[in-house]
A = this chain, B = another copy of it.
Amino acid sequence: MYSPAMDAEQVASPSAQATVGSLRERKHSRTRQEIVEAALGLFARHGFDAVTVTDIARRAEVGRTTFFRYFPDKQDVLFADEADLNTLLAGAMDGAAAPFGPLGDSLRDCVGVTRAGLLALADAVARQAIASPARHGIVTGHPQLEASAWSRQRAYIETATRELVRHGADEGTAGLAAHVATGCYGQARAESGDEPQRLPEATTRAFERLNGLSSTTL
C-alpha cells in the first residue's frame, strides 16, 4: 500500500547509505595511507629486510590483523598503487584509441595506442617517485624488489592487450604490440635508473628509436 513516508524512506535511504559508504571508504583509504606512510618511513630508515609487519602495524597504530586486511605482505605496501597505474594506462589508451576505429591487425596503430598509454604511465610514475623518493630508493637498491617491480610490468602487458582488443585489435596483434611497447618502457626504466624524473623522456626516446625500425612514423 502506498504511503508518502515510504517514498521519503526510499529516497533518504540510498543517500544515507552513500554517506555511510563514503565515510567507511574514507576511513578505509585513510588507514591504508597511514600504513603505506609508516612502512615507507621504516623501510627508508632501517632497510626493507629489517622491518617486520609488526613494526609497520605498531608505527601505523593498527593491529597486525588490520594490516593483513589491507595488504597480503610488506612487499605489497611498496606497490600499493599498481591498480591505479593500470587504470591510468587503460584510460590513456582508451583516449588514444578513440580516433582510430577498430584497430584490427595494424601492429603500428596498436603500438602507437600503447605508447600513448605508457607515456601517461611514465609521467605518473615519475611524479610519484619525485613525490616519494623514499619508495623509489628502497626498490632500486634491492634486487628482490627490483625483480618484483619488473614482474609487475606483466600486468601492464595484460592491461594493454585487453584495452587494444576492446578497441577491435585482433588478439595476436594486441599481444605483440603490448609486449613490444612494454619492452620500450622497460628499457626506459633501465636507462632512467635512479633518476625517475628522466623516465618520461627516456620512454619517448625509446619509442622514437623503435621508429628507426620503420620507414614511416608510428
User: Taking beta carbons and an 8 Å cutoff, which residues of A are in contact with B?
Assistant: 107-108, 111, 147, 150-151, 154, 157, 172-173, 175-176, 178-184, 186-187, 190-191, 206, 209-210, 212-216, 218
Contact = CB atoms under 8 A, between A and B. Distances in A.
A108 B209 CA distance: 10
Which 10 A-B residue pairs are closest in the complex by CB-CB distance? A215-B215, A183-B183, A179-B183, A179-B187, A151-B151, A180-B183, A213-B214, A176-B187, A214-B214, A179-B186
B107 A213 contact: yes
A215 B214 contact: yes
A175 B186 CA distance: 9
A148 to B, nearest CB: 8
Contacts of A157: 186
15 contacts: A107-B209, A107-B212, A108-B212, A150-B151, A151-B151, A172-B209, A173-B209, A175-B190, A179-B184, A181-B183, A182-B183, A213-B213, A213-B218, A214-B214, A215-B215
Contacts of A150: 151, 154
A183 B182 CA distance: 8
A154 B146 CA distance: 11
A31 to B, nearest CB: 28
A182 B191 CA distance: 17
A10 to B, nearest CB: 43
Nearest to A211: B213
Given A107-B209, A213-B218, 16 more contacts: A107-B213, A108-B212, A147-B151, A150-B154, A172-B191, A176-B184, A176-B187, A178-B187, A179-B184, A180-B180, A180-B183, A180-B184, A180-B210, A213-B213, A213-B214, A214-B215
